[in-house]
Amino acid sequence: MDGNVVKPRYVCPADHAALLASSGGLSCTLCGTFYPVVNGVPVLINDGNSVFRRADFAGDAAYQGASGYGGAADKTSGLRRAYRSFARKLSEAPVPSDGGIERIRTMLEADPARKVLIIGAGERQSGPNAVRTDVAFAAGVDCICDSHDLPFEDGAFDIVFAESVLEHVCDPQRCVAEITRVLAPDGRVMAVTPFLQPVHMGAYDFTRFTYLGHRRLFRMYDDLGSGLCGGPGYSLIHIMRNSVTGITDNRRIKSILKLAMLLITYPLRYADRLLMRTESSYNAGCAFYFCGQKRATAIPDREILKSFRGQ
């Protein structure tokens, strides 16, 4: 790690005032709100503007795991654990893209001295200058916070990653406004958000975006690269799997059907190598990525319309 680089400090998520260490946590110097530190991880949730509460992260009921959100960690064993592991590997296999997202990630990670914020980090690995946040405890998470109220000073970061995040927030526009606030004037954002995907993570799934809707969400940014992350083939995989498993609410039958459909639909991902070559593929994209550089003023909607991709 570069000795000259210091990670951004935390502030109160409600009023952005300084925090002071107190017994068992941090206290806001302005409003006096107490934020607990649980197992070394500060819980910086603004209870008044979040579906989560600071109390949710204390004791045995604390949220656990990158996709736990209110559930317990997986404590199964034997065949059930093996089934879950195999199903997870199939469902989390690499998503086909148009190649742009890989180039962008390489570009963003080229300067290790930049201050990076990763929202919804889960168990994602990162460099030494990254601050990793989530609303669930996972290995390596630095801070529990809600992206509607980020606990950082204005302009604290050079890069913000928000991949597979914005579909899980109540107010995506507010979250993007918070991302914009904590980015430096020339800061960059990287986001991946689904379009044609069924509900996942239960109640914590709110929104989908077309390519153009996703672009408008980031109208305070110049486009450095954007496109498909999973084409029509991958969209079809999701729809087929959920259409078949949706015929029953019986958990055991649903598990059998899920595994069968994971195996049957797996080859469809390779169809995207052909399908994603066309402009029309944007009409049925699975998800879209966007990388942008912060600008001083918002792009007018009539200019946003010129960014349309599809037929």
- What are the tokens at 12? 């109160």
Whether 64 and 256 have beta carbons less than 8 Å apart is answered as no
- What are the tokens at 178? 């918070």
Max intra-chain CA distance, the chain: 60
Q: What is the pLDDT of residue 75?
A: 57
* pLDDT tens, residue order, the chain (311 aa): 444 556 789 999 999 999 999 899 999 999 999 999 998 999 999 999 999 999 989 876 566 644 554 444 555 566 777 767 777 777 766 777 777 888 888 888 887 779 999 999 887 777 778 999 999 988 889 999 999 999 999 999 999 999 999 999 999 999 999 999 999 999 999 999 999 999 988 899 999 999 999 999 999 999 999 999 999 999 999 999 999 999 999 999 998 999 999 999 999 988 998 999 899 999 999 999 999 999 999 999 999 999 999 88
User: Token pair 């059998």 is at which residue?
Assistant: 256
d(CA 177, CA 10): 18
DSSP letters along 148-187, please? TS--B-TT-EEEEEEET-GGGSS-HHHHHHHHHHHEEEEE
The 3-state secondary structure of 183-250 reads EEEEEEEEEEEECCCCCCCCCCCCCCCCHHHHHHHCCCEEEEEEEEECCHHHHHHHHHHHHHHCCCCC
> Given its phi and psi angles, is residue 78 left (phi above 0), alpha (psi -120 to 50 degrees) or beta?
left
Q: How far does the chain reach from its first CA to its final CA, in angstroms?
A: 47
3-state secondary structure of 53: coil
Measured CA to CA in angstroms, residue 17 lies from 38, 154, 283 at distances of 21, 11, 45
Model's pTM, two decimal places? 0.90
Residues 110-115: contacts with CB under 8 Å, at least 24 apart: 111/158, 112/2, 113/2, 113/4, 113/5, 114/158, 114/159, 115/5, 115/7, 115/8, 115/156, 115/157, 115/158, 115/159
Q: What is the pLDDT of residue 7?
A: 75
d(CA 260, CA 125): 31
Strand order in the sheet with 19-22: 19-22, 25-28, 34-38, 41-44, 143-145, 130-134, 116-119, 157-163, 183-194, 287-294, 221-228
> Given its phi and psi angles, is residue 26 left (phi above 0), alpha (psi -120 to 50 degrees) or beta?
beta
Report strand pairing: 130-134 vs 34-38: unpaired
User: Token pair 């109390």 is at which residue?
Assistant: 55
Domains of the chain: 94-115+156-307 (3.40.50)
Residue 273 has, within 13 A of its CA and on its CB side, a CA count of 4
Q: How far is CA 189 from the centre of its chain?
A: 12
Report strand pairing: 25-28 vs 221-228: unpaired
Whether 191 and 165 have beta carbons less than 8 Å apart is answered as yes
